[in-house]
Amino acid sequence: MQILLNTGAVLLRVITNSLSNVFQKELAIEGENPVYVNFINYLLLSIASIPMLFFTDYSCFNLTFWKYAILGGICGTICNCFMVLALQTGELSVLGPINSYKAIIGMVFGIVILHEFPNIYGLLGIALIILGSYFIFDSASPKVFLRKDIQYRIYALVFSAIEAVFIKKVILLSSVMTSFIVSSVLGGIFSFITLKIFTKENMKKADKRHSIFYVLTAICFGIMTFSTAYVFKYMNVGYALSLFQISIIINVILGYKLFKEKNLLKKLIGSLIILIGSATILILGH
């Protein structure tokens, strides 16, 4: 039964993550400030979390809990800001597959910090990810990483990976629901601070069409956040992050269908190669 629940949570997370990216990109295309989008997203989640406060166990709220919760909130806010910035100018079908570079980043940190050097399978996985990138980027040249949208997506990826570790710690110290509530509220606080620091815009009333996208983004992001916490409770973070990368296929298809992004077949082939490379690193590369 637990396996079925975990599978359902993973699929729910994958789908809502892709849909959240679609709505965030739509808002970015409409000219909405990425920092403002991020704040409204967390604000709506915070409001939705209020009824849950009456069912929360506050006994776990100690110094250790708040340390990990605050660090996770900061990383999550920064990650979401960079993600919206990336979607503002980049293609969904390109930015989605970049998530698989998380495996390479993890391996690099392992070499530098832990002195864990990859075996032949780890090197093969890296080679496959780079090969898949050729299909996604139309080039395997390092110059592609000078593009702002690619850089922003990688920054989001790094902070997302760090956030995942802190989320796991918060869940272990409390519960899935508590983790969701705290991450929503702290995300609202930190995104408000970010809004005040990086933009001089006054709070504005979005038109009706934008309001719908804001609500849809918050709903998808909220479901994604809760399902992520649920999966982390019952699964190793590394394996969970690997399974979440299935969303890159969905992003490629949605980018083609909704935003008329080109080279669908080529990007699908590249995404599959990248997924195989990522799986190779995860399963055999240690």
The answer to whether the beta carbons of residues 6 and 231 sit under 8 Å apart is yes
DSSP string, 122-145: HHHHHHHHHHHHHHHHS---GGGG
Residue 203: φ, ψ to 5°: -60, 130
pLDDT value at position 224?
A: 93
Distance CA 125, CA 277 (A): 4
Angle, helices 208-234/237-244, rounded to nearest 10 degrees: 140
Closest CA relative to residue 72, chosen from 152, 199, 172, 170: 170
pLDDT value at position 227?
A: 94
pLDDT value at position 19?
A: 92
Count other C-beta atoms under 10 Å from residue 147's C-beta.
15
* pLDDT, tens only, 37-70: 888 999 999 999 989 888 888 888 999 999 999 9
Query: Which pTM was predicted?
Result: 0.81
pLDDT value at position 207?
A: 56
Distance CA 214, CA 220 (A): 10
pLDDT value at position 244?
A: 80
pLDDT value at position 219?
A: 95
Going residue by residue through the chain, which has 286 residues, state the pLDDT in tens, using 9 for 90 and above. 777 888 899 899 989 989 998 998 888 888 888 888 888 999 999 999 989 888 888 888 999 999 999 999 999 889 888 988 888 878 887 787 777 776 666 667 656 655 667 778 778 877 887 788 777 776 556 677 788 888 898 899 889 888 888 898 899 999 999 999 999 999 999 999 888 887 765 555 555 667 888 999 999 999 999 999 999 888 877 677 777 877 888 888 888 888 888 888 888 888 888 888 877 776 665 5
pLDDT value at position 69?
A: 94
The answer to whether the beta carbons of residues 192 and 39 sit under 8 Å apart is yes
pLDDT value at position 204?
A: 56
pLDDT value at position 163?
A: 87
Distance CA 38, CA 156 (A): 13
pLDDT value at position 103?
A: 65
* pLDDT, tens only, 234-276: 887 767 777 787 788 888 888 888 888 888 888 888 888 888 8
pLDDT value at position 189?
A: 92
The answer to whether the beta carbons of residues 66 and 240 sit under 8 Å apart is no
Distance CA 134, CA 266 (A): 10
